[in-house]
Amino acid sequence: MRGRKPEPTNLKVARGIEPRGRKHEPKPAPLIGPAPDILDDEAAAKWRELAPKLEGLGVLTVADTDSLTLLCQSWALAQQARRDLDETGMNLPNGKRNPSLLTWRENVALFARLSALFGLNPSDRTRIGVQQQDDSDDPMEIFLRSRGG
């Protein structure tokens, strides 16, 4: 597929753009649940750190489980490679480059790409629009919201 990726309708609406054409776009349910069993302890800890934040921002749905799983796994692999580099150094005793350096680089790059999907850095957050939730219990606020005012 060529060109830019289509922007989801809910993001267009949040930015004030009138959506055209995609009237039957899927609307996955928000993701609520524990980390998948496939994650090791370090990746599961990252899941427990990120999932509530992303749910609160309204950018995490059941359709995003695999992407968040890969994000957490790439984090854990990068951390494991970093620890190996700290212990053994960038070069092995035989003079060759430590393979953990490549593992670290690849997983940091993957983490950065996947992080962008969820708006986990400042420049990517500017590209993601989310509906702000107002949890006010004030009856007047509720009335005004229901009237669009």
**What residues pair up with 91 in beta bridges, in sequence order?**
97
**pLDDT tier for residue 145 given thresholds of 50, 70 and 90:** low
Residue 131: pLDDT over 50: no
* Confidence bin at 75 (pLDDT 50/70/90): very high
Tell me which DSSP letter residue 147 carries. T
Percent of the chain topping pLDDT 90: 41
32-55 per-position pLDDT tens digit: 678 899 999 999 999 999 998 888
Q: What is the reported pTM?
A: 0.66
pLDDT at 34: 85
DSSP 61: B
- Give yes or no for residue 10 having a pLDDT over 60: no
Contacts with 29 (C-beta within 8 Å, 6 or more apart), sequence order:
61, 62
Q: What is the pLDDT of residue 97?
A: 95
Q: What pLDDT is stored for residue 5 in this prediction?
A: 64
Read off the pLDDT of each residue in 83-104 and give the average, rounded to a whole number: 94
To the nearest 10 degrees (0 to 180), the angle between helices 41-57 and 65-88 is: 130
91 vs 31 pLDDT, higher one: 91
Over residues 59-83, the mean pLDDT reads 91
